[in-house]
Amino acid sequence: MRIIEPSVTILDELDRQSLPVRIEYCGRVCYKSEHRIDSDSAVPFVRQMAEHGHNSVLEMGVTTFIVSCPNQKDIDAFFFLQPKFLQIDRLEAQKLMITGSVRAFMELAATQNAIAMAIVHHLRQRHPYFFEKLSLTDSPEADRIGISKMTIATIEQLPAAQLAKHRYLAVKFIVNRAVTHELVRHRPCTFLQESQRYCRYSADKFGNEVTFIKPVFFEEGTEEFSIWKQSMEAMEQQYFRLLQTSTPQAARTVLPNSCKTEIIVYANLLEWHHILSLRTSMAAEPSMREVMIPLQHNLQQRFPTVFV
């Protein structure tokens, strides 16, 4: 049995990585298979995710485009679609800024809209492995639509209102499962979480033990902490006994909320602002405030125009 403190990490290192590298890193958190990452593993991983329809993993790759379209009818038709999961700003009469995930753009391909197809074809030229399962036809209208990709550095120079909508940020939490039950209620976010269904904690890579998050409610040395610790030790023993004859997905049924889990939460700054306004208040759950208050301070320093 192992007891650790909760933690929160902004995944800055992912920001400037390619789409497949970002997606692979986040996706492997589910199975705790990060040890399989190497210089050639990203593309095969995301190709497999796309082929098997694991679309939630593909939501972890977000990119922003500037779209120039001389035909107002095409722009009007694009807005008429009411595309899901996209952030769209009209910069000029015939210029749009569009931010979305790989999944959102893949689903947009089915519309055959001129602007949508121009973006999809632009993405497919650079990342064909996302679209191998899709039957795409050439769109003559797409040739007259200009597409350019925005960098993270350029996005961070936008005015606060646009920055909040188009700057997405991945944050990794190491917390107990009670906290993640609350986190996943924030619907506009994307989540990838360590899976107790596939993780066998008796394996060497987990140290042959179950890891628990130290509870914020009980001080070490108190009777309450002693009761909690004894309960966790008992649950670990029962879990290992079940693993002798059962699968991890069956044995996990005895694991408590105090189990350590890792979850990556991906959202734009506008949604992070909303989350922090709720989860740092005095009424918020103490274990949630334990990680959200440090995150709030970090984001206030990094993006002072958004997190005032």
In tens, the pLDDT along 266-308 reads 999 999 999 999 999 999 999 999 999 999 999 999 999 999 8
Tell me if residue 26 falls in helix, strand or coil.
Answer: helix
String of b and e for 29-43 (b: at least 16 CB within 10 Å)?
bbebbeeeeeeeebe
Query: Which two structure tokens, joined as six digits, stand for 33?
Result: 């298979």
Delimit the domains of the chain by residue range: 2-15+167-302, 19-159
pLDDT at 246: 97
- Cα separation, 129 vs 132, in Å, equals 5
- Give all strands of the β-sheet with 87-92 in edge-to-edge order: 87-92, 95-101, 62-68, 146-149
Cβ proximity of 176 and 260 under 8 Å: yes
pLDDT per residue as tens digits for the range 149-177 = 999 999 999 999 999 999 999 999 999 99
What CATH number should be reported for the domain whose range is 2-15+167-302? Answer: 3.30.1360.170
Residue pointed to by tokens 């632009």 = 122
String of b and e for 97-115 (b: at least 16 CB within 10 Å)?
bbbbbbbbbbbbbeeebbb
User: Of the candidates 204, 210, 201, 267, which has an alpha carbon nearest to the alpha carbon of residue 26?
Assistant: 267
pLDDT at 141: 64
pTM score, whole prediction: 0.94
pLDDT per residue as tens digits for the range 99-154 = 999 999 998 888 888 899 899 989 999 999 998 888 777 666 667 899 999 999 99
- Cα separation, 60 vs 103, in Å, equals 9
Q: Is the pLDDT of residue 205 over 80?
A: yes
Cβ proximity of 210 and 239 under 8 Å: yes
Half-sphere exposure of 64 (CA within 13 A, CB side): 21
230 band by pLDDT with thresholds 50, 70 and 90: very high
Residue pointed to by tokens 């931010």 = 99
Paired sense of beta strands 95-101 and 211-213, if any: unpaired
